[in-house]
């Protein structure tokens, strides 16, 4: 992770070439989301320090943590209710996630997705890849199995320029020292 975080200083370069990361474990509770939160904090630190060093104004929103499972639930409820206002708000939020310089997509591939939802996720990932924006994905399924949840095209796009970082062990939830 230290080597990955060291690349965050390149965010101010013309061609930052910062890879995305796929944090994967069969088991829940192995620290993927906690690690992703640490990575977003490291990005923010590098962003604010780098902006100050260069005499630039930091971006208003240089990074975002996006819970894809929570979003999918909200999307499904709005779609079932035919709530166009809510669907427009959700689409706007997803478009913002496509544009933010650093994104954590938490719980990718947690459950099957409708064709419409797959299309939305594909648009975000495709936009981020085309713009060279790094994304950290967390998942309980292997990157190669994403095609079973989404489709082969989306799985291939995630795999493109993405470091696969497996997590091992059993759940550590509830084991914190007091």
Q: Give the chain as a 3 state SS string.
A: CHHHHHHHHHHHCCCCCCCEEEEECCCCCCCHHHHHHHHHHHHHHHHHHHHHHHCCCCCCCCEEEEEHHHHHHHHHHHHHHCCHHHHHHHHHHHHHHHHCCEEEEECCCCCCCCHHHHHHHHHHHHHHHHHCCCEEEEECCCHHHHHHHCCHHHHHHHHCCEEEEECCCCCCCCCCCC
pTM of the model: 0.89
Q: What is the pLDDT of residues 80-96, one digit of tens each?
A: 999 999 999 998 999 99
Tell me the per-residue pLDDT of 51-89, one tens digit each, with 9 for 90 and over: 999 999 999 999 999 999 899 899 999 999 999 999 999
- Interval 97-112 mean pLDDT: 88
In the chain, what are the domains? 22-148+157-166 (3.40.50.300)
């Amino acid at each position: 992770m230290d080597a990955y975080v060291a690349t965050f200083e390149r965010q101010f370069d013309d061609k930052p070439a910062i890879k995305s990361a796929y944090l994967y474990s069969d088991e829940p509770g192995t620290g993927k989301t906690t690690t992703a939160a640490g990575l977003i904090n490291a990005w923010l630190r590098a962003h604010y320090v780098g902006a100050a060093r260069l005499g630039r104004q930091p971006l208003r929103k240089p990074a975002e943590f996006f819970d894809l499972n929570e979003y999918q639930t909200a999307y499904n409820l709005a779609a079932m209710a035919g709530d166009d206002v809510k669907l427009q708000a959700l689409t706007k939020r997803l478009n913002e996630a496509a544009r933010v310089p650093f994104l954590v997509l938490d719980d990718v591939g947690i459950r099957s997705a409708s064709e419409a939802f797959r299309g939305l996720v594909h648009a975000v990932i495709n936009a981020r890849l085309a713009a060279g924006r790094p994304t950290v994905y967390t998942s309980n399924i292997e990157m190669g199995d994403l095609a079973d949840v989404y489709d082969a095209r989306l799985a291939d796009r995630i795999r493109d320029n993405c470091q696969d970082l497996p997590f091992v062990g059993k759940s550590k939830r509830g084991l914190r020292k007091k």
